[in-house]
Amino acid sequence: MEGLGWGGHFGGVAARLDGVFGANGAFAHDRLRFVDFVDDVEELLEELARREGGDEEAADGFEGLVWRHYGGN
């Protein structure tokens, strides 16, 4: 994100997600449960919406969207 010039908008997001994906880009299930990852990302989106003055409610649907798409709970 920093390399794309988005560091000011997404400060700290990359650091909080560091280690979640392996060198090959695959999700590292041995480091974090996927359900916890999805919950963390939703919280990050809500935090970003608050900071940017956006609609925090718009981020609330992220977790449901992921579970519907990937067949989770």
Give, for all 73 residues of the chain, the pLDDT tens digit. Answer: 556 565 665 656 666 677 788 888 888 888 888 888 888 888 887 877 777 777 777 777 777 777 788 765 5
What per-residue confidence (pLDDT) applies to 6? Answer: 58
Cβ proximity of 46 and 60 under 8 Å:
yes
Residue spans of the domains in the chain: they are 31-72
Residues 6+ apart with CB under 8 A from 17: 40, 41
